[in-house]
Amino acid sequence: VLPLVSVNQILLLLLVLTVCAILYNKVHQVPLALRNETVDLESPEEVEEEIPVVICAAAGRMGAAVAAISSIYSNTEANVLFYIIGLKTTIPHVRKWIENSKLKEIKYKVVEFNPMVLKGKIRQDASRPELLQPLNFVRFYLPLLIQKHEKVIYLDDDVIVQGDIQELYDTKLAPGHAAAFSDDCDLPSTHEMVRSVGMQNTYMGFLDYRKQAIRDLGISPSTCSFNPGVIVANMTEWKHQRITKQLEKWMQRNVEENLYSSTLGGGVATSPMLIVFHGKYSSINPMWHIRHLGWSPDARYSEQFLQEAKLLHWNGRYKPWDYPSVHTDLWENWFIPDPSGKFKLTRPDS
Alpha-carbon distance 138 to 113, whole Å? 8
Alpha-carbon distance 144 to 146, whole Å? 6
Nearest of 228, 258, 315 to residue 123 by alpha carbon: 258
Nearest of 300, 290, 298 to residue 324 by alpha carbon: 298
Given a cut of 70, the residues of the chain with pLDDT beneath it are: 1-5, 7, 22-47, 125-131, 187-199, 261-267, 350
**Is residue 312 assigned to a domain?**
yes
**Is residue 127 assigned to a domain?**
yes
Look up residue 49 and give its DSSP letter. Answer: P
List of residues 6+ apart from 203 with CB closer than 8 A: 219, 220, 221, 222, 223, 225, 274
Within the chain, what is the greatest distance between any pair of CA atoms? 112
φ and ψ of 205, to 5 deg: -75, -10
Q: What is the pTM of this model?
A: 0.84
pLDDT at 296: 87
pLDDT at 279: 96
List of residues 6+ apart from 160 with CB closer than 8 A: 67, 68, 71, 311, 312, 330, 331, 333, 334
Alpha-carbon distance 255 to 122, whole Å? 6
Half-sphere exposure for 90 (CA within 13 Å, toward CB): 23
pLDDT at 30: 40
The answer to whether the peptide bond before residue 143 is cis (omega within 30 degrees of 0) is: no
Burial class (CB in 10 A: 0-12, 13-18, 19+), 199: buried
**Is residue 214 assigned to a domain?**
no
Nearest of 320, 103, 75 to residue 84 by alpha carbon: 103
The SS3 call for residue 151 is: strand
**Is residue 27 assigned to a domain?**
no
Alpha-carbon distance 240 to 242, whole Å? 5
CATH number of the domain that residue 56 is part of: 3.90.550.10
**Is residue 209 assigned to a domain?**
no
pLDDT at 192: 62
pLDDT at 285: 95
**Is residue 15 assigned to a domain?**
no
Query: pLDDT tens for residues 22-32?
Result: 666 654 554 43
Q: State the DSSP H helix or E strand holding residue 4, giving kind and residue range, or none if neither.
A: helix 4-28
Q: What letters, b where the CB count within 10 A reaches 16 and e where it falls short, cover 120-140?
A: ebbbeeeeeeebbbbbbbbbb
Alpha-carbon distance 98 to 170, whole Å? 27
pLDDT at 44: 45
Distance, CA of 178 to chain centre: 13
| Range(s) of the domain holding residue 84 | 51-185+225-255+268-333
Alpha-carbon distance 322 to 350, whole Å? 11
Crossing angle for the helix pair 91-99 and 62-74, nearest 10 degrees? 40
**Is residue 19 assigned to a domain?**
no
Distance, CA of 140 to chain centre: 12
- Which amino acid makes up residue 133? Q
Q: How many domains, in total, are found in the chain?
A: 1
**Is residue 11 assigned to a domain?**
no
Which percentage of the chain shows pLDDT scores above 90?
Answer: 69
pLDDT at 270: 92
